[in-house]
C-alpha cells in the first residue's frame, strides 16, 4: 500500500505487484512488452475514483512508476473532490496497448512501454512517468514534413486552442494546476510540438532513475 496523503485510502490506493499477480497477466505482452526495460518492481497499480462526463462516480485504474504513484493518488483525489470531469481512466491494455485507440476513446492513462512518436527514444509513458488526461479533447499536435500530424486522428476539432470548449486543458485548468504543483511539466508548453493531454516528470528525473 502507499503513504500518499489521501483522505479516502479505501478508494485511492497503490499496490505493488509481481509476475504471479492477476494485474501482471493483464499487462504482459501488451503495455508490459517483452522488451520492456523497466523492472516490474518499479511499477505500481493504482485504484482511483473519478467523476465521468455523466456526472457519476466511476472506478479508475492506472499503472505508473512508483516514483509518481503518491503524487497521482493525491492529484486524482483532489480532482474527484472538485468533481473534475474525466471520461475514462482504464489501463491502456484494454485497448491492446494501442495508444491511438486509447486516445481516440478519450481514455486517460499512464504506463505503456513505447517510444516517442517519430523517434527511437523511450517515451516517459514507457517508464510510467507521464499521465495523459481527456486525450480526445487535448491532442498531440506536431508538424511533420510540412504536414500537420494530430494524435488521436479524430481530434481535429480540438486543435485550435483559442476556441472555447468543454474538457480543454489550459493554464487555468485544475488538472494543469495540480500537476504543476506536484512538479510535473505540461506538454502544452512545448515549442516544437504540443501535447495538451500530457503531464510528465522533468528529464532530470528520468536521468536520475534510469542512468
Of the given ranges (35-39, 79-83, 180-184), which has the lowest mean pLDDT?
35-39
Total domain count, the chain? 1
pLDDT range class, residue 115, cuts 50, 70, 90: confident
Q: What is the mean pLDDT of residues 170-190?
A: 99
171 domain residue, yes or no: yes
8 domain residue, yes or no: no
Q: In this predicted structure, what is the pLDDT of residue 211?
A: 81
Whether 144 shows a pLDDT value over 90: the answer reads no
Q: In this predicted structure, what is the pLDDT of residue 32?
A: 98
pLDDT range class, residue 1, cuts 50, 70, 90: very low
112 domain residue, yes or no: yes
Q: Cβ distance 20 to 52 under 8 Å?
A: no
4 domain residue, yes or no: no
121 domain residue, yes or no: yes
Q: pTM of the full predicted structure?
A: 0.95
pLDDT, tens digit, 9 for 90 and up, residues 119-138: 888 899 999 999 999 999 99
pLDDT, tens digit, 9 for 90 and up, residues 48-100: 999 999 999 999 999 999 999 999 999 999 999 999 999 999 999 999 999 99
Parallel/antiparallel/unpaired status of strands 193-195 and 57-65: unpaired
pLDDT range class, residue 193, cuts 50, 70, 90: very high
3-state secondary structure of 97: coil
Whether 2 shows a pLDDT value over 60: the answer reads no
DSSP-derived letter for residue 66 is H
Whether 163 shows a pLDDT value over 70: the answer reads yes
116 domain residue, yes or no: yes
157 domain residue, yes or no: yes
- The C-alpha angle with vertex 135 and arms to 133 and 139, in degrees rounded to 5, equals 120
Q: What is the mean pLDDT of the chain?
A: 96
82 domain residue, yes or no: yes
- Of 129, 57, 126, 123, nearest to 89 by C-alpha is 57
Query: Which residues span the domain enclosing 195?
Result: 13-209
Q: What is the mean pLDDT of residues 4-32?
A: 96
Amino acid at each position: 500500500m502507499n503513504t500518499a496523503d489521501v483522505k479516502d485510502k479505501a478508494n485511492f490506493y497503490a499496490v505493488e505487484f509481481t509476475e504471479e499477480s492477476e494485474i501482471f497477466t493483464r499487462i504482459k505482452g501488451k503495455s508490459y512488452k517483452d522488451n520492456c526495460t523497466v523492472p516490474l518492481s518499479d511499477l505500481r497499480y493504482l485504484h482511483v475514483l473519478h467523476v465521468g462526463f455523466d456526472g457519476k462516480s466511476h472506478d479508475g485504474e492506472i499503472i505508473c512508476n512508483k516514483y509518481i504513484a503518491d503524487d497521482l493518488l493525491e492529484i486524482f483525489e483532489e480532482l474527484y473532490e472538485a468533481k473534475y470531469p474525466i471520461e475514462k481512466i482504464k489501463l491502456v491494455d484494454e485497448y491492446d496497448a494501442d495508444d491511438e485507440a486509447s486516445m481516440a476513446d478519450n481514455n486517460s492513462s499512464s504506463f505503456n512501454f513505447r517510444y516517442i512518436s517519430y523517434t527511437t527514444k523511450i517515451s516517459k509513458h514507457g517508464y510510467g512517468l507521464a499521465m495523459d488526461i481527456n486525450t480526445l479533447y487535448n491532442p498531440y499536435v506536431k508538424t511533420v514534413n510540412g504536414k500537420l500530424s494530430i494524435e488521436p486522428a479524430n481530434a481535429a476539432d480540438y486543435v485550435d486552442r483559442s476556441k472555447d470548449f468543454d474538457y480543454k486543458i489550459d493554464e487555468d485548468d485544475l488538472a494543469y494546476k495540480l500537476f504543476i504543483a506536484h512538479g510535473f511539466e505540461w506538454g502544452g508548453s512545448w515549442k516544437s510540438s504540443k501535447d495538451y493531454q500530457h503531464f510528465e516528470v522533468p528529464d532530470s528525473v528520468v536521468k536520475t532513475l534510469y542512468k
